[in-house]
Amino acid sequence: MAGELEGIARRRDTWKDVVDQCLALLRAHGMDNDGGPADLVKEIESLQSILASLVGAARDSEDKARKLREAGSRSNNKIEQTLAQALGCYPWYKDDQENFPGATEADGVCIGEHVAESIAAEAARIIRSLQAEVARLRDALMDAADALGCIKHPSIGHVERAKEAIRAALTPPAPGRDVMARRLTL
């Protein structure tokens, strides 16, 4: 019997199969008669029941973990697509029908090797840049408004100052500062 038990263990079957095989082996050798070994069989059957419930709980946990991973993946993809589309600097799949035949707007944009974190970092950089640009334009317009206030009693100096302030407010940013026109290299 010891050799048969070693054979069972060597096959490395699932624990439930091992318990089932041990029970079958004990019964085959008449070990469930005479009280003593029958208690062993009952213990093994009890362990088998516990093991079955543990296997069921493990399967439930694996199923829940799989569902959570899938939900996280869908959420991550939605974040990537929302940010990438808002930035406007990623190519749409629908615009490349040669490589993505049948792609529509619903398929989103191609983010290449970017992930939600890198796209969020790019969005944050652009937001900071745009906030600085808004502050610059606000200051220039305030200067223009102040200068225009002086035009009530025009003098050549005040008119020139107003024109200069308006020109400064309307002057586009230096090359490289127009962040929305920049395209990312994928």
Distance of CA 165 to the CA centre of its chain: 46
Long-range contacts of 29-33 (CB under 8 A, 24+ apart): 29/1
pTM equals: 0.54
Length of the chain: 186
Note down pLDDT in tens along the chain; length 186 residues: 555 545 544 444 466 676 677 767 666 666 554 545 666 767 777 777 887 888 888 888 889 999 999 999 999 999 999 999 999 999 999 999 999 999 999 999 999 999 999 999 999 999 999 999 988 888 887 777 777 665 555 555 666 776 777 777 667 766 655 444 443 333
Residue position matching structure tokens 């069972």? 8
Residue 73 to residues 49, 67, 79, Cα–Cα distance (Å):
36, 10, 10
Phi-psi group of 112: left, alpha or beta (phi > 0 → left; psi -120 to 50 → alpha; rest → beta): left
For residue 45, what pLDDT is reported?
A: 77
Q: Where are the domains of the chain?
A: 2-87, 112-170
